């Protein structure tokens, strides 16, 4: 098994992993296909400039797992009073035939080490129901975060 850093050439791989992750969580094509199209265009410059980074695991040259990481500009907070950034973990995915072998655990260990290397001492993630037990076992805790979907008004100035 080989592990390497993500690079620009991994654009489609990251998109595939993200879509498969959400499909596993029960999302359908009506949401996933447009999401992936927009995500691809969002991701392209971030992979190129290193704002989106992470790791991919390979078995015989074939990708079997991956993790995405980002740094988020965030004001100092009681959870990190001396830091103005947070780590963000996203797109943790292991191919079905490779699950329950500790690969996601190893990806999370790599994430912790990479954040530490970059001077980040606080990180967040959004867990699927399937991933939550692993994250809790690794010391991740729930927060008080809440979310709301907002209605977007048409831009009347574009006309």
pLDDT in tens, 77-118: 999 999 999 999 999 999 999 999 999 999 999 999 999 999
The DSSP secondary structure of 41-79, one letter per residue, reads HHHHHHHHHTSEEEEEEEETTEEEEEEEEEEEE---BTT
The DSSP element (H or E) to which 123 belongs, if any, is strand 123-125
pLDDT for position 159 = 53
pLDDT for position 147 = 86
How many DSSP H helices and E strands does the chain contain?
Answer: 4, 5
Q: What CA–CA distance (Å, rounded) separates 61 from 81?
A: 43
How many CB atoms neighbour CB 52 within 10 A?
A: 23
Tell me the pairing of strands 123-125 and 85-94: parallel
Q: What CA–CA distance (Å, rounded) separates 15 from 58?
A: 17
Residues of the chain with pLDDT under 50: none
pLDDT for position 136 = 95
How many CB atoms neighbour CB 89 within 10 A?
A: 23
């Amino acid at each position: 098994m080989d592990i390497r850093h993500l690079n620009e050439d991994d654009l489609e791989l990251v998109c595939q992993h993200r879509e498969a992750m959400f499909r596993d969580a029960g999302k359908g094509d009506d949401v996933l296909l447009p999401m992936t199209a927009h995500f691809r265009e969002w991701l392209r410059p971030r992979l190129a400039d290193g704002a989106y980074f992470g790791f991919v695991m390979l078995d015989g040259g074939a990708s079997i797992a991956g993790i995405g990481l980002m740094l988020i500009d965030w004001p100092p907070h009681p959870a990190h009073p001396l830091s103005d950034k947070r780590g963000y973990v996203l797109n943790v995915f292991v191919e079905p035939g490779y699950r329950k072998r500790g690969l996601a655990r190893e990806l999370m260990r790599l994430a912790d080490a990479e954040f530490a290397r970059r001077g980040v001492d606080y990180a967040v993630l959004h867990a699927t129901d399937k991933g939550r037990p692993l994250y809790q076992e690794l010391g991740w805790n729930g927060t008080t975060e809440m979310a709301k979907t907002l209605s977007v008004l048409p831009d009347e100035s574009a006309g």
